[in-house]
Amino acid sequence: MQKFLAYPLTIIYFLYFGLVLLIFHPIQWFCFNVLGYKAHKVSVIWLQFWIMRCLNILGTRFSINNPYEIDKNQPLIIVSNHQSMYDIPPILWYFRRNHPKFISKKELGKGIPSVSYNLRHGGSVLIDRRKPIESIQAIEQFALRIKENNWAAVIFPEGTRSRDGNPKPFKTKGLIKLIENIPNALVVPLTINNSWRTLKYGKFPMGLGAHVKFKVHEPFFINDFSKTELLKKVEEEITNSITHD
């Protein structure tokens, strides 16, 4: 019965989602080209708010457990598991004071109104997985921008999303480059639960009633641990908090 109901609700969702993307694309362009970075950031943040409201059509809810006060004038490395494309809007919304920027695959940089524009112009980095040397160089340059501007770099070390919530082994090359190039960064481990349920049937229809939960683990400074200890600590904290409730 739930899957049957998901078909019409998914169609309604896509109509509203597409409308939001089309509305915010020219708004982003105007803000970026006429008003500058601050205005563009505001437009991006409100885009995320409305994407999340669109997902409410499917009964999707979002909550975050974050008992920590994170300095907005401190560069961050947010390390998270990855369960769906819908992980991203809440991260941008909940961490908006910290200017989150993403390491994304090159393919997302074109063809998606609003989303592609922000990835190209909002401070994130697009990498070509088929060109590892160029990708590492791009991440190094990205890390310098994060450091200079006290932004937050968001990385999903699994490399691709988990389709059933079970974590994939972390690939650490990109994370290591961030650590090496932002030695003063505060590392923020983040666990995402139930986001995969929004796509449990595939892209159509979408899943209904998912409660997507974000858990922020205690942040720590890079210099508090050796590189090996840091990588192990981050992966264990994130994956040990993944549930299937």
pLDDT digit string, tens, across residues 112-146: 999 999 999 999 999 888 888 899 999 999 999 99
Q: What is the reported pLDDT for 162?
A: 81
* Phi and psi based region of residue 15 (left: phi greater than 0; alpha: psi -120 to 50; beta: remaining): alpha
- Could you report the per-residue pLDDT of 143-179, keeping only the tens digit for each? 999 999 999 999 999 877 888 888 888 988 899 999 9
Asked if residue 207 is part of any domain, the answer here is yes
Asked if residue 245 is part of any domain, the answer here is no
Amino acid in the structure at residue 206: M
pTM for the full predicted model: 0.94
User: What's the CATH number where 85 sits?
Assistant: 3.40.1130.10
- Candidates 120, 121, 60, 111; CA nearest to 89 is 60
Give the residue, 52 or 168, on which the prediction is more confident: 52
Asked if residue 39 is part of any domain, the answer here is yes
Asked if residue 236 is part of any domain, the answer here is yes
pLDDT above 80: residue 28? yes
Asked if residue 183 is part of any domain, the answer here is yes
Measured distance CA(8)–CA(175) in Å, rounded? 41
Asked if residue 182 is part of any domain, the answer here is yes
Asked if residue 231 is part of any domain, the answer here is yes
Q: What is the reported pLDDT for 245?
A: 66
Overall domain count for the chain: 1
* Phi and psi based region of residue 223 (left: phi greater than 0; alpha: psi -120 to 50; beta: remaining): alpha
Phi first, then psi: give them for residue 217, nearest 5 degrees: -85, 165
Q: What is the reported pLDDT for 10?
A: 97
pLDDT above 70: residue 58? yes
Q: What is the reported pLDDT for 183?
A: 94
- Domain assignment of residue 132, given as a range: 2-240
